Amino acid sequence: MNRRSFLASAAAPALLSQSSKTPPNIIWLTGEDIGPRLGCYGFPEMRTPNLDALAADGVRFNRAFTTAPVCSASRSAFMTGVFQTRTGCHHHRSHRRDGYQLPDGVKLITDRLRERGYFTCNVRDASVPGSTGKTDFNFTAKKPFDGTHWKQRAKGQPFFAHVNFQAPHKGPSFPLARKQKYLVDPAKIELPPYWPDHPVVRDEFANHLDAINLLDSQVGEVMNQLRNGDLLGNTVIVFHGDNGRCLIRGKQWLYDAGIHIPLIVRWPDGPAKAGTVRDDLVSALDITATTLTAAGGELPEVFDGQPLFGAKAGPRQVIHAARDRCDMTLDRIRCVRTASFKYIRNFMPDRPYTQWNQYIERSYPTQGVMKKLHGEGKLKGSELVFMTPVKPAEELYDLSADPNEVRNLAGDSGHAATLLDLRARVDRWVWETDDQGRFPEQPSAQDQ
């Protein structure tokens, strides 16, 4: 046994003896760039039997949202339980070389679990297909994890495992997803009204859905390992996305397509009753809070998440999210969402939705099609919304009547009271969380 294993095995009994009940293992299954388009969410064209089974054994949350529509900012938040705007981690791929540290009072969830005797691992193992070991933090972390698989833990030690699945992210998994036996038929997909009905658009959307089906098969391999290791009986399993779908008007934007994620929690003999469906508003930061309380920990003073279960759980009235610089594309946008309305504040309205972004130009064929059709005067109706040369300073959407968020009601006198209320909520959130997006980014922080 090496020194690290010895110390972990020695510390675990001392910490865990405080409770008469063995703490549960906890595993996060995180899908990249994935919205809630799964069979269990009511999409019959999807083939997601493993995630559907997970939902049948646990709780499916219909209204879960990340705090940012891009991976590094979102992960910097849910791995700490604190808004990325509060910690200065709001710009995408920032602080990679300047040694930036989290503010006092903010820690990684793995540090807090380690203090309670947990072995923490970021799974990168050949036995788990699709696991990438992605972290992508916008801060410096000295030792975020103890190992690369839960099998490395000391005997009897509870573990926290993070398994990251890249499949729905643009990249090598997209052609791999095309090799599956079942493929989504592009002709049968219902397109949102803000995309033109074009073969390239349908093909890109279908390929993304194929990649989600591929992710499901990879989740199945993890479930098999837990089952074969006799671990399912004492392991809390959380499946969620890091941000919304990697398609135009999704990832990098604060519309629901960019921040709405699937969330499923399976908790054997715990408060997550099998087959439950919840419609309350949930922030990804609540996953962090739930994980900490499941391990028997207390929520720290500097924390923005709240537990999903138990005495300290309570319904959220709103969720907040933020978008800042993404790659070379500078912008600042904030939003607040209630059960019925979405308010978006564009702090840089002079910048178009389609300002230059190399990643999008290379990876999103739909945008190329839209630019071409727009130049030819062939876009119509809601398809034109994303192509305007400037953005409105404020956007307000009635989500019940307009779930695709294409009819901006910010100038509608009939919704003036709602606009004033949600505008004030954003102002208050920016102030109360000391939103660091108010200040220009230092050149040394940019990873460009």
Q: What is the per-residue pLDDT for 22? A: 85
Q: What is the per-residue pLDDT for 127? A: 85
Average pLDDT over residues 231-251: 97
- pLDDT by residue (tens digit) across 162-219? 999 999 999 999 999 999 999 999 999 999 999 999 999 999 999 999 999 999 999 9
Average pLDDT over residues 355-362: 94
Considering the four listed CATH numbers 3.10.310.40, 3.40.720.10, 2.60.120.10, 3.40.50.200, the one that applies to the domain covering 3-313 is: 3.40.720.10
Average pLDDT over residues 262-268: 97
- Listed by start position, the domains of the chain span 3-313, 333-437
CA quadruple 56, 62, 67, 68: dihedral, nearest 10? 90
Q: What is the per-residue pLDDT for 1? A: 39
State the Cα angle at 282 between 393 and 298, rounded to 5°.
120
Three-state DSSP at 264 gives strand
pLDDT for residue 18 is more than 90: no
pLDDT for residue 10 is more than 50: no
Are 178 and 45 contacting, i.e. CB atoms less than 8 angstroms apart?
Answer: no
Q: What is the per-residue pLDDT for 447? A: 67
For 86, phi then psi, to 5°, come to -75, -35
Q: What is the per-residue pLDDT for 7? A: 36
Q: How confident is the model at residue 358 (pLDDT cuts 50, 70, 90)?
A: very high
User: Quick one: tokens of 436?
Assistant: 């660091």
pLDDT for residue 295 is more than 60: yes
Burial of 157 (0-12, 13-18, 19+ CB in 10 A): buried
- pLDDT by residue (tens digit) across 374-425? 999 999 999 999 999 999 999 999 999 999 999 999 999 999 999 999 999 9
Across the chain, what does the average pLDDT equal?
A: 94
Average pLDDT over residues 34-38: 98
Are 109 and 292 contacting, i.e. CB atoms less than 8 angstroms apart?
Answer: yes
Alpha-carbon distance of 272 to 257, in angstroms, equals 26
- Residue whose C-alpha is closest to residue 342's, from 414, 277, 426, 268: 426
Are 266 and 58 contacting, i.e. CB atoms less than 8 angstroms apart?
Answer: yes
Alpha-carbon distance of 186 to 24, in angstroms, equals 42
**How long, in residues, is the chain?**
448
DSSP 202: H
Q: What is the per-residue pLDDT for 405? A: 98
pLDDT for residue 2 is more than 80: no
Placement of tokens 């990098």 in the chain: 252
pTM of the model: 0.94
For 167, phi then psi, to 5°, come to -45, -50
Contacts of 152 (CB under 8 A, 6+ apart): 5, 119, 121, 146
Burial of 357 (0-12, 13-18, 19+ CB in 10 A): middle
pLDDT for residue 19 is more than 70: no
Q: What is the largest CA-CA distance in the chain?
A: 70
Taking phi over 0 as left and psi of -120 to 50 as alpha, with beta for the rest, 43 belongs to: beta
Q: What is the per-residue pLDDT for 239? A: 98
Q: How confident is the model at residue 13 (pLDDT cuts 50, 70, 90)?
A: very low
Average pLDDT over residues 113-141: 94
Q: How confident is the model at residue 446 (pLDDT cuts 50, 70, 90)?
A: confident
**Edge-first strand listing for the sheet containing 333-337:** 319-323, 333-337, 341-346, 394-398
pLDDT for residue 263 is more than 60: yes
